[in-house]
Every structure is written in structure tokens, then in C-alpha cells.
Structure 1
Amino acid sequence: MKKAYLFLTLEGVFSLFYALLIQGPVFTGLAMLFNLDEFLLSVAAAIPPMMQFFQLFASFFVQKYRKRRFLVNVFNAFSRFSFAFLIVFLLLGKTEPLIFIVALVISQIFAALSSSTWNSWMRDLVPPEERGRVFGNRNMFLSIGNALIIYLYSSIVDHFSSGFVLVLLISTVGTVLSILAMNKIPDVPVKETGTGIPLKVVFKDENFMKFVFFTFYWNMAVTFSSAFYHYHLLKNLGVDYTYIAYMMIVNNFVAMLVYRILGKVSDRVGHKTIAEFGIILASFVSGMWFFMNTNTYRTLMVADAFLSSIAWSAINLSLAILPMEVAFESDPVFFGLNASFASAGSLIGSFAGGITAKFLSDIYVNLHGFEIFGLQLLFLMAGIFRFSAVFFLRKVKVKKYIPFRAFMLSTLSVTLRRPVYRILDVYLLLKRGNERVRRLVRRSKRRKSNTDEQGGEQG
């Protein structure tokens, strides 16, 4: 299986040439080149998660053809080459927003079909006890690829007048290489018990539906502000692509180390615990962007590079594996339903965020030299929005889970080189102490209530 995991990683790295066109500063710059305003940019940024609704239809193709590797390659080819077709319109000088939106929608429909088929395939290919390590190592190398490709793309866009045409051409080469690498991964047979599950059966799975609702809410919270972080840097603060690329390189090299650690830790403490950790940290980072202005952006972008790297490494790793853990079969219908709710959440979040951003975009306040742009208020709201998603995640039942407080105490103990058992003992003592205090308070209230009733009867 080592050879299979090697080509799984190579395929992921080559796929980054396309993936980095639909996220980050290059995506924002390309959207601005096609004259998208704040509202349309928010809609465009939400199209990838919105189109995940089409994952529901992947089950039909898997049941009919039963060759998941072939299907993933076909879907990826249609997805990536259709977006690269924007080259033609750029060369013709046609940069209407509708062209960009339509190309992105077509691309992401096929990407959604590919994603669900790939998830079903990976669930059968990678054993549950190895998923954290395998995908953690894979994501570590993807972080290296991210750093190099982001720098390459940003340098091209900054130094060449036809920079966006060049990066689109490079992405097509990456697509061809990813297909060649994919052909080296074993196409394991579809399990008989993993196909043909009716949708109504999935809806009756109470625990899986709790996870689906969390996915809906989390995507709504993320897309509320996701389109505007790089937009704020480029438009309001005038930061150039190369400087953003430097920070993203730092981000990805930190992620490389974090994935290596989390890949091992998540198999031990549980993927839900890692997801909670990532969401809470991502919420803090979004709130930190409230202070991002022309005087502070250099310092805060460095802090963001480190903190967001840790947060999103935890989120990306855990939320990629959790659906495999919560679903009781490998049928694509599970992943498709989860993705369709993510799509609905993204739609609502992007529209809400776009309308809010449009309303706030003209606001500018200078308080004794401290600048506040309207979008900074949006980032603060987004931080609160994201944090609230933790309460929905905690309702989902998983086989392995350590409460977030215990996990953080254990992590701090390792960091401070203190014995883990002492910290955990303190946590358990505090927990038991709190329970005893609550019991004493309840008893005191009952006694007081009984005394009052007796006094009333005597009166």
C-alpha cells in the first residue's frame, strides 16, 4: 500500500495547480479581472461549496459503472479544463462577470461529482486505523506544494501582464499529471453493502443527520466572510500579491509540520476533538482581522500565517475524515447528502455575507490614527458565527472523543514538559468538584423551598 499512498500524495500535489485557482489571492484577483463587485465575489467564492449538492448524483454513476478511478479522472478532466477555458475569453478581451460565474459553476459541478466518488473510493482503500496518518502525511506534502505553487502563481501575476493567462495554462499541465498519477492508485472493488442505500435510510440515521446539520451551519459560517479576507488586503490596504504569497508560504510550511503532528494525534484523541480545536482557533483568527489595517497588517499577517495554518490544518484533516467515521457505509449517498447540506449552508452564508459586505464596504473610520474599514466589522461578526458551530459539533457521537478542555490541558502539559497524568487529574478533580458544588446548590435550594412551604403552612 505504500506505493498507492505515494501516488495518492502525488496526485494531490498535481491537483493543486487547479485548486489554487479557485481560492486565495489568485482567485480573488482573477474575479476582480472579470469585474466582480463585493456581492458577486461573495457568490463566486461560495460556488465551490454550493455546487457540492451535485455529490448526491455520484452514487448513480458509481452503481452504474463501478469503476471509481475512471470516474474520478473523467470528472476531474471536465472540471478543470472547463475552468481553464477562461483563457480564450481573456485573450478575446471579454471579461464580463457572467462568463466567470458560468465557467466556475460548470467546473464545480464536475468537481462535486469527483469529490463524492473519491471519498467513497478512499473509504474502501484506506483502513480506518490508518486514515489520520495517511491523510496527515498527504496534507503535509500538499502544504509544501501549496507554498511553491502560490509563490509561482503570485510572481507570475505580479510580473507579467498576461499573468492570469499563464497560470491558467499551467493548471492544465497539472491536470494531465494528476490524471497520470491517479492511474497508479488501485481501483478497489465497490463493496456490495456500500451501494444502493436509499436516501430515506440516511435521513433516518439520527447521528449522521446531526453531523449533516453541523456541516450546513459550519459552511454557512465560513462562507459568510471567506471571500473578503484577501479582498480586504488587495483593495482596502493595497497589499501586493507577492507579499501575500510570502505569508501563505509561511502558512503552508507551518501547516506541513502541523499536519505531521495532527495526523498521529487525531488517530489517538479522535477527529472530533481536533475539529473542535481548529474551529475555536479559526474563530479567534477571524476576530483578529478586526484590527487588520494599513498600520497593523504586516504584524497581523504574520500572526495570521501561523495561527490560521494551525486552525485550518486541524479543520481540513478532521472534517475530511469525520464523514467516513460517522457514516455506517461507504455509499456515496452519505457524502452526497452531507455535501448537499454544505451547499445549502454556503448559499445562505454567501448571500448573507455578500449583502452585509456591500452594506459595510463604504464605511471608513479613523480613530486617532487607527483605521477601521467596514469589512473589519464583518470579520468580527464572522468570528462569533464560526465559534457557535462548536455547539452543534458536540452533539455528534463518535467512537473516540476527548473533551476539548482535557485535550488542551494535555497539550499544555506536553508543551510545558509537565507530566500528563497530573494535568488530567487536575481536570478530573475540577470536573468532580463542579459536580459536587452543583449538587450542594440543588440540595440547598430544595431545603429552602421546603422551609418556605412549611412556614407558609404554619402561617
Structure 2
Amino acid sequence: MKGRKQSELRETFRISITEGVYSQVYTSIAGPGSVFLTKLLVVLGASSIQFSILAATGQLFLVLMPLGALVTRKLTLHRSATVKWAVAGRGLTPLLGVIPLFLSDRLSLTAVLAVFAVSTALLSVSANIWAGWMARMVPVRIRGRFFARRNAVLLSFGLSTAFLLGLLVDRFNSDPVTLRFVLAGLFLLAGVIGLVGLRILLKQPEKPVTVTDTPVLKLFTEPFRDRNFKKLCIFGGWWMLAVGIGAPFWQPFMIEFLNMGVTQILLYGMTSTLGSILTLKYWGRFIDRYGNIAAMKLAIGIGTVVPFVWLFVTADSLWMIYAESLLAGSMWGCVGIVTANLVLAVAPENKAQVYSGLFGAFSGAGLIITMLISGIFMPPALKIAGISLYPMQVLFLITAFARFSALIPLSQVKEPNAVPLNVVLGKLRLWNKVKLLNLRVTLNREKKNR
């Protein structure tokens, strides 16, 4: 029995990572945050509000996640449902590039945003079903390391592929007509790659679950009787409210004010990915040893610092944001593991899918609110201590302080078997002292031997 479980676990790891590569390449081209989607909107002449809508639409992925628990409440096996919803969502992707070839720019903007919204909504349901499926397959004791390894591999493939495609897009940057056909080809490619990956996902093992007869209303309200889960949702909403401030404008700022091409933006993404890959293994070990909350507190500290770099960068000092991207990549790598793992640590095992969906909905709602507000109420330019800030940079300054404030609700969340951050830091200081003492002893011995 133990041998069978180990074999099943290894097969889960192998297929999850293989399928995940296809999924990540798809997301890098056509998913939320894609530079190719941003470029398409720039070509179509999008306004700041439309950039905000694009960014906010991408977060429907989080808000609609509870629907996954609703559509599977009568199913004992979830693999088929995961794939069917994903097929519907990814199958719409080629339309993102085809629409601008036949409609005016004004109509294309509306249609592209609408198609992207529907696709994202369908994929959000699939993602929630997949999260519950993975929670049943991967033991708690190794989830941190598993997601760290998986994310490292996926990010490597996703960003390297996107970078190569970015070179193609930049080559036709001066030819708007051809550029539209190139972008259409990329979104067609994304749809094909995404669908091929789902064929691999069909081979992943799964464990049957007990069908619930819990009424729908009770299914979604019962988790909020858990005080700790309510505190976690408050933190998720607070953190995402902070992150959403200025979030739609990182890429437009690069394009419009720093004069960066798609390749340069993707190089920034690759540098960020490198920072994530180099540290994901250590974040995974840290989380498995000390818990998600301690890791998240460290990530919030880093996330508070990095926006300040954007207040000083110019088109002549792009090296600053490339250096910043290493630190930001490490931070977001940690956040990615924690957000996937913390809710699973707090939730009862048989309710992981519902808890995960509700937490995602609260987090996504917070992100969408401030993303939209950022575009509708763009602040005026500002001069602070002799530094002139563009309106977008004012938003970057605000998000830095807002992120730091997320430590307040996080401190109220209780995680089983977690080690407080002050204890962790104390252990690290003690470890450093021991290492230093050992070094001194070694040096003294060498002197005596001489």
C-alpha cells in the first residue's frame, strides 16, 4: 500500500509539472498580466481606464473561484470537470487576436476585453477544482517544497518562451498592420498549446471524494463560522487591496515613459523569474520548517521596499528596475507558494476546495477594486523632496505604504505548527553567531598549527 502511494505521488509530481509547463506557456502569452495583451491594447489605443479594466478582468480568476466548489459538489471525481472548464476557457483565446483584424479599434477594445473576461471566468472555475484535487494528492508536509519546485520549472519555461516570442513582436513594432497579424498568430498558438497541455492533465492520478449533500447556502457560509478563516480572508482582501493600487500601470509605465520594447519588458520578467527560481527552493524549505505566515511577513517587507525603486528610474537608468526585479521575483515567488499553501493549512482537509475558493474570491475582490479605482481616479503629478513624480509613480508610492500595512491583519491569523517570525529571526541570529564562532576556532587552530 505504501509503495503504491509513493508511486502515485511520483506520478502526480511528474504529470503536474509536465502539464504545468504547457499551462505556464499559455498563461505567459494570453493570461492575466501578459505583456502581449498589454501590447495589443496599446496598438488599439486603449485609455488608462481600459488598462485598469484589463488588469481587473484578469482577477476574475480569483473572484469566481468558489464556483468550482459549486459545480463539483455532486461529483466524486474532479479530473474531467477540471479539464472541461479549462477547454472552454482556453478555446476562446484565438479570438483575442482575430477580433482586431475585422473590427474597428474602438469595437475591438470592447470585444477583446469581453472575450478575455469570459475566458478568465471559465478558467477560474477550472483552477479552483484543480486546487482541491491537488490538495488531496500532495501531503501537507511536502507542499511547500512541491509548489516551490513546480513553480521554478514552470516560470523558467513560461518566461523563456515569452521572451523569444517578444523578439518576434519587437521586430514588427514599426509595422502596425503586420504586428496585428503577428499578435493574432501568438494568441492562436497560445490556445493550441493550452489545449495540448490539458490532454496531459487527463493522465494525472486522482482520489475520489465523498459527495456532499450540504445545501449550497450552507456550503459557502459555514467556513465563515471559523474565526481564523475570517481573519485569513480579511488579510487576503487587505493585501490585495494594497497590491492593486497602481497594478494596471507597471507595464504601461515601461512602454510609455521608459520607452521599453516588448523584449526589454520580457527581459525584466525573465530577471524577475531568475530571482524567483534562485530562491524558491529556500522559500519552500523555510515554509515547511517555520510556516507560511513567517515567510509572508518577510515577503511583505520586501514588497514594501521594491516600489520605491520605480520613483527614481528613468529611460537612462533601466538597470535600476532590472536589479529590482531580482528582489521582486523572490518576493512574488514566496507569495505564490504562501497563497496556494496557507489556506490549505488553515482549512479542514475535506473542505479545502471551498475554503480555497472563498479566500481567492475575497483576495480577488480587493485587487479588482483598487485596480479600477487606480484608473478612474488617477492622481495628479506630484513633487516630493525635489523629486518629480508622474501620476503612475504616485500610485507606486501609495502601494508601498499600503503593502506594509497588511502586516496588521496577517498578525491575527493563526497557522497550525507555525513558528513566530521573531523566533525564526532569533534562531537565524544564533545560527550566524555559531557559524562565526566556528570560523574563529578554525582560524585559531590554523595559526597554532603554523
2:198 is the alignment partner of 1:183: no
Paired with 2:12 and 2:282, the residues of 1 have a C-alpha distance of 22
Q: Give the secondary structure class of the aligned counterpart of 2:389.
A: strand
Q: Does 1:146 align with 2:158?
A: yes
Structure 1 residues 264 and 23, CA gap change in structure 2 (3 angstroms): same
SS across alignment from 2:73: helix
For residue 294 of structure 2, what is the aligned residue in structure 1? 273
Number of aligned residue pairs: 415
Corresponding position of 1:323: 343
Between 176-185 and 331-340, the greater mean CA deviation after superposition: 331-340
- 1:170 is matched with 189
Matched, 1:2 2:15: no
Structure 1 residues 263-306: Cα deviation after superposition (integer angstroms, max 9, x where no partner)? 2221001011111111221121112211122233x221222121
Q: How far did residue 36 of structure 1 move?
A: 2.1
C-alpha distance in 2, partners of 1:354/1:53? 20
RMSD: 2.4
Q: Paired residue for 1:16? A: 24
Q: How has the CA–CA distance of structure 1 residues 420 and 40 changed in structure 2, closer, same or farther, with 3 Å as cutoff?
A: farther
SS in structure 2 opposite 1:419?
A: helix
How big is the shift at 1:232? Answer: 0.5
Q: Does 1:63 align with 2:93?
A: no
CA deviation vs aligned residue, 1:80-124 (integer Å, no higher than 9, x gap):
221321222122244332112201110111111012111111111
TM-score, normalised with respect to structure 1:
0.84
Q: Which amino acid aligns with 1:129?
A: R
The answer for the alignment partner of 1:448 in structure 2 is: none
1:345 paired to 2:360: no
The answer to whether the 8 A contact 2:90-2:195 is kept is: no
Partners of 2:53 and 2:425 in 1: how far apart? 36
Corresponding residue number in structure 2 for 1:449: none
1:90 aligns with 2:100: yes
Task: Give the structure-2-normalised TM-score.
Answer: 0.86
Q: Which residue of 2 aligns with 1:419?
A: 434
Taking the aligned partners of 1:184 and 1:51, their CA distance within structure 2 comes to: 24
| 2:413 aligned residue | 396
Relative to structure 1, the CA distance from residue 35 to residue 180 in structure 2 (aligned partners, 3 Å threshold; closer, same or farther) is same
Matched AA of 1:328: P
Residue 237 in 1 paired to residue 258 in 2?
yes
Q: Does the CA-based 8 Å contact 1:278-1:315 persist in structure 2?
A: yes
Counterparts of 1:313-392 in structure 2, within 5 Å, are 313-331=333-351, 332-357=353-378, 359-360=379-380, 363=381, 372-392=389-409
CA shift, 1:193, in A, is 7.3
Checking the alignment, whether the CA contact within 8 Å between 1:147 and 1:253 is kept in structure 2 is no
1:50 pairs with 50, 60, 64, which one? 60
Once the two structures are overlaid, the 10-residue window that deviates more, 14-23 or 118-127, is: 14-23
Q: Which structure 2 residue ranges, 5 or more long, are not aligned?
A: 1-8, 173-178, 438-450
Name the counterpart of 2:448. Answer: none
1:127 corresponds to 2:139: yes
Q: Secondary structure at the match of 2:64?
A: helix
1:117 corresponds in structure 2 to: 129
CA distance in 2, matches of 1:356, 1:405: 39
- By how many angstroms is 1:51 displaced? 4.7
Q: In structure 1, what is the equivalent of residue 222 of structure 2?
A: 201
> Cα deviation per residue 1:330-353 (whole Å; 9 max; x = unaligned)?
433222221221232123211221
* 8 Å Cα contact 2:76/2:208 also seen in 1: yes
Q: For the residues of structure 2 that align with 1:219 and 1:49, how far apart are their CA atoms?
A: 10
**How far apart are residue 421 of structure 1 and its match?**
11
Q: Hey, what's the Cα distance between the residues in 2 that align with 1:257 and 1:51?
A: 28
Summarize the alignment of residues 211-290 of structure 1 with structure 2, pairs less than 5 Å apart: 211-290=232-311
Give the % identical residues.
22
Deviation at 1:56, TM superposition (A): 2.0
Separation of aligned partners in 1, 2:213 and 2:345: 14
Check 1:49–1:410 CA distance in 2 against 1; reply closer, same or farther (3 A cut): farther
Distance 2:190 2:155 in 1: 17
- 1:59–1:195 contact (8 Å) kept in structure 2: no
- Listed one character per residue, the Cα deviations across residues 319-371 of structure 1 (whole Å, up to 9, x for unaligned) are 111111111244332222212212321232112211233x43xx387998x66
Q: 1:419–1:173: structure 2 CA closer, same or farther, 3 Å change rule?
A: farther
Cα deviation per residue 1:211-268 (whole Å; 9 max; x = unaligned)?
Answer: 0111111121112221111110101121111122222222212211211221222100
| AA in 2 matched with 1:121 | W
Give the match for residue 156 of structure 1: 168
Give the distance between the partners of 2:397 and 2:428, measured in 1 at CA.
27
Say whether the 8 Å CA contact 2:238–2:406 is kept in structure 1.
yes
Q: Could you tell me which amino acid in structure 2 is paired with residue 200 of structure 1?
A: T
Distance 1:322 1:364 in 2: 38
Q: SS at 1:64's partner residue?
A: coil
- Where does the alignment leave 5 or more consecutive residues of structure 1 unmatched? 423-459
